[in-house]
């Protein structure tokens, strides 16, 4: 049986700056902050794109999804796919018995129980990939990888890993100048055979760098620029603690350090 083709949404030519962000992760305070920045910059909803995982670690899955709905274009993340399927975990590929696997069970169970039919319908409508053109370049936006939605691609990953994903994307949608992907939660840029691979990071969780600020990206006529996002961290922590999500990610919002380093490549662990 041939592989299922991805659902692709083509936004066409976008005139003006484009704001792209990943991983809201049920962090309502960060979600509101990044959308406020878009409003301040005059970037309308059709030029705001999220790379997925709207619902994950933090304490406001329903309100976060409702805040995003109609205010940005949303690519399906692995969390969306798993929640729609009624699965018991996020399918991130955590090793059985690892700290990451144990912690993910708690927050995924909370997210799954919180969401209703309206939220599940919203996630089901999300495409697997978004393509658009801006300032003379053609972009493809995905979650993790085109071959595997949960594939982790890190700043330290082999060039061949990126090359295989670029090849899969071009097979699906034709030639592109850049890929924007999320999932790993760390902002970085790589160059693969003339194609730029850009991860804007996540707005809902800091990138394990010891700072509270998270990341997002703005595409302008001068290129892609990664920005730091300030938001109401204490409010987000309080929401997690009120929901009983106190396995470590609540402290990560304050310390900027992930509660487990299991999933990270050795050279990126702290």
Give the helix, strand, coil percentages of the chain, each rounded to 5.
Answer: 35, 20, 45
Question: For the residues 91-116, what does the mean pLDDT come to?
Answer: 79
**Residue 90 pLDDT exceeds 90:** no
Question: For the residues 33-39, what does the mean pLDDT come to?
Answer: 98
**Residue 21 pLDDT exceeds 60:** yes
Here the tokens at position 123 are 């996630």
**Residue 116 pLDDT exceeds 60:** yes
Binning pLDDT at 50, 70 and 90, where does residue 99 land? low
**Residue 2 pLDDT exceeds 70:** no
**Residue 119 in 3-state DSSP?**
helix
Edge to edge, the sheet with strand 48-50 lists: 73-74, 48-50, 18-21, 214-220, 223-229
> What is the pLDDT at residue 102?
73
CA distance 15 to 24: 25
Question: For the residues 238-242, what does the mean pLDDT come to?
Answer: 97
pLDDT over 90, % of the chain:
84
**Residue 193 pLDDT exceeds 50:** yes
**Residue 234 pLDDT exceeds 80:** yes
Strands 195-199 and 188-192: antiparallel
Question: For the residues 127-131, what does the mean pLDDT come to?
Answer: 98
Is 0.85 topped by the overall pTM?
A: yes
CA distance 183 to 8: 18
**Residue 163 pLDDT exceeds 90:** yes
> What is the pLDDT at residue 103?
74
Binning pLDDT at 50, 70 and 90, where does residue 92 land? confident
- Mean pLDDT over the full length of the chain: 94
> What is the pLDDT at residue 1?
36
């Amino acid at each position: 049986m041939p592989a299922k083709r991805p659902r692709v949404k083509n936004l066409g030519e976008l005139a003006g700056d484009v704001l792209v962000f990943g991983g809201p992760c049920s962090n309502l305070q960060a979600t509101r902050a990044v959308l406020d920045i878009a409003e301040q910059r005059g970037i309308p909803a059709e030029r705001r794109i999220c790379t997925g995982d709207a619902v994950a670690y933090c304490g406001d899955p329903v309100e976060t999804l409702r805040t995003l709905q109609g205010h940005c274009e949303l690519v399906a993340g692995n969390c969306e796919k798993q929640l729609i399927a009624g699965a018991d975990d996020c399918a991130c590929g955590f090793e059985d018995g690892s700290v990451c696997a144990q912690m993910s069970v708690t927050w995924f169970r909370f997210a799954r129980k919180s969401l209703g039919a309206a939220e599940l319908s919203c996630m089901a409508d999300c495409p697997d990939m978004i393509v658009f053109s801006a300032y003379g370049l053609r972009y493809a936006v995905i979650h993790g990888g085109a071959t595997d939605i949960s594939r982790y691609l890190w700043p330290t990953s082999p060039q061949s890993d990126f090359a295989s994903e670029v090849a899969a994307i071009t097979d699906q949608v034709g030639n592109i100048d850049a890929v924007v992907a999320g999932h790993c939660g760390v902002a970085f840029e790589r160059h693969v055979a003339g194609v730029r691979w850009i991860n804007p990071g996540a707005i809902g969780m800091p990138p394990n760098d010891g700072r509270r600020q998270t990341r997002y990206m703005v595409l302008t006529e001068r290129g892609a620029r990664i920005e730091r996002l300030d938001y109401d961290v204490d409010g987000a922590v309080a929401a997690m603690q009120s929901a009983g999500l106190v396995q470590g990610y609540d402290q990560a919002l304050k310390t900027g350090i992930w509660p487990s380093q299991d999933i990270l490549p050795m050279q990126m662990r702290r």
